Amino acid sequence: MHGPVAPPPVTPRTDPAKPHTLLPVLAALNAIGPAGIYLLLPALPVIVAEFGRDLSIAQMTISFYMVGIAVSQISMGSLSDRFGRRPVVLAGIGLAALASIGCIFAQTLPQLIAARFFQAVGAGCGMAIGRAIVRDLFDRNRTSSMISLVIAASTVSQMVSPLIGGLLEARFGWPSIFYFLTVVALLLMTIVAMTLPETRRVVATEKTGFSRDIRLLFTTRAYIGYLLCMVLSSQIVFAFAGGGAYIVVTHMGRSSVEYGAWFATLSIAYLAGSVSNARLARSYSLEDLIWLGLAMQLAGGLLNVLWGLLGFNDVPSWLFITQMLVMLGNGFVISNSMAGAISIRPQAAGTASGVLGFLQMSTGALSSQLGAYLGGHFQTTVPLNAYILGLSLACSAAMLFIVPRRDRNQPYGFGHG
């Protein structure tokens, strides 16, 4: 494995006078991809009725969209390392706008599904490249704080997106959702063109390329450790989202409205973790904050397993209040492990971020399915909560056994700062 080396010389980059002013733009770039999922969810029953197809077929408008985001993460991030952040972002958002127009005029469900895939490939670019831009503009420890703020803003957008989608569908019909996304994409494209400078770091003495960057990243223990920590922690969110509804609605006999209200508390807890991390990152290292988050994940996971074993699984409050502690820690772990991973090789931050996003989304689909199985096939919460606890333990193992100990002022791998 490669150890710390002296950073290669880097040509000066075009920084804006106040990088913080770009945070709203970066938050919007990070949010537009996931918002495309949540905006359409309330309209799925109407789409099923209009096209006369089974719900499982209509669900492909969501699943293929997630596949498109995963593809976008690993492709757009690498392209931004080669051609620059700005042109790739503009091309990606432009593709999202064109694909949204394609969704409006889709005559069949397969056409809509195909247009949704390309919409996601375009919109997903903001997630990988947005994180890379943050790393371009800030040093390693400040990256964690800024990513937390970007994630916090994106979380808020995801919380309100189903409401916006439902209102649009009820008032104007389901195509209005894609009119809305087209306008948002074109507006964001205009704002990016006017405000976002090129931030990519250009290394003068080193060859670059996707295969080379991947090889160097995956021969660095720290990158592998941070990547595993971030991806495994993300699976907690997907697993509980997949199984929670079955537990609350089917086994606890509560309404879907009550489940939605309880699930919103988890988004609030995650938002609180992200905002708290942004404040604490000014005073503590990202490793310290990862361990703080891991401690909360483990404590919440242990308590939820305990409640299940004791039989306290017939009311949502026992499950969700403790799960809020897990999600509070999740906000710390994801932001800081992401910042650590994309700081290993800053000149390849797009590729590093893209790999993170690709693995997060692709494995998230599997965790969601497993969570649905564990939540739907057992009369107790123990199997689902044991899986979540196992994910928290795996995160801790990645940090403990893979990420090497270091001097806090010494960067890992091939990067600097």
Is 0.85 topped by the overall pTM?
no
On whether residue 416 sits in a domain, the answer given is no
Mean pLDDT across 177-205: 86
On whether residue 413 sits in a domain, the answer given is no
311: left (phi over 0), alpha (psi -120 to 50) or beta: left
Asked if residue 63 and residue 172 are part of one domain, the reply reads: yes
Residue 391 sits in a domain of what CATH number?
A: 1.20.1250.20
Closest CA to 343 of 334, 352, 332, 335: 352
On whether residue 309 sits in a domain, the answer given is yes
Asked if residue 257 and residue 189 are part of one domain, the reply reads: no
Asked if residue 226 and residue 306 are part of one domain, the reply reads: yes
Asked if residue 378 and residue 292 are part of one domain, the reply reads: yes
> Percent of the chain at pLDDT above 90?
31
Domain end position, chosen among 195, 225, 252: 195
Asked if residue 363 and residue 226 are part of one domain, the reply reads: yes
Asked if residue 221 and residue 187 are part of one domain, the reply reads: no
Closest CA to 231 of 52, 413, 363: 363
Q: CB of 281 within 8 A of CB of 134?
A: no
Asked if residue 280 and residue 143 are part of one domain, the reply reads: no
On whether residue 369 sits in a domain, the answer given is yes
Q: What is the pLDDT of residue 49?
A: 82
Asked if residue 232 and residue 191 are part of one domain, the reply reads: no
Maximum Cα interatomic distance, the chain, rounded to a whole number of Å: 64
Q: CB of 336 within 8 A of CB of 143?
A: no
Asked if residue 382 and residue 305 are part of one domain, the reply reads: yes
Average pLDDT of the chain to the nearest whole number: 83
Mean pLDDT across 237-250: 80
Structure tokens at 368: 């969601």
Asked if residue 216 and residue 189 are part of one domain, the reply reads: no
The more confident residue out of 128 and 324 is 324
Tell whether the model's pLDDT for residue 206 goes beyond 90.
no
**21: number of CA atoms within 13 Å, CB side?**
10
On whether residue 124 sits in a domain, the answer given is yes
Task: Give the domain range for residue 375.
Answer: 210-400
Asked if residue 364 and residue 284 are part of one domain, the reply reads: yes
On whether residue 39 sits in a domain, the answer given is yes
Range with lowest mean pLDDT among 54-58, 126-130, 358-362: 54-58
Q: Considering its fold, how many domains does the chain have in total?
A: 2
Tell whether the model's pLDDT for residue 93 goes beyond 80.
yes
What is the per-residue pLDDT across 155-188, written as a single tens digit (0 to 9) for each?
777 778 877 888 888 889 899 999 999 999 999 9
On whether residue 150 sits in a domain, the answer given is yes
253 by Cβ neighbours in 10 Å (0-12 / 13-18 / 19+) ranks as exposed
> Percent of the chain at pLDDT above 70?
88
Structure tokens at 114: 């195909």
On whether residue 415 sits in a domain, the answer given is no
Asked if residue 364 and residue 240 are part of one domain, the reply reads: yes
Domain end position, chosen among 151, 171, 195: 195
Q: What is the pLDDT of residue 344?
A: 87
What is the per-residue pLDDT across 282-291, written as a single tens digit (0 to 9) for each?
888 889 999 9
The Cα-based distances of 132 to 84, 115, 238, 342, 376 in angstroms read: 11, 27, 24, 7, 38
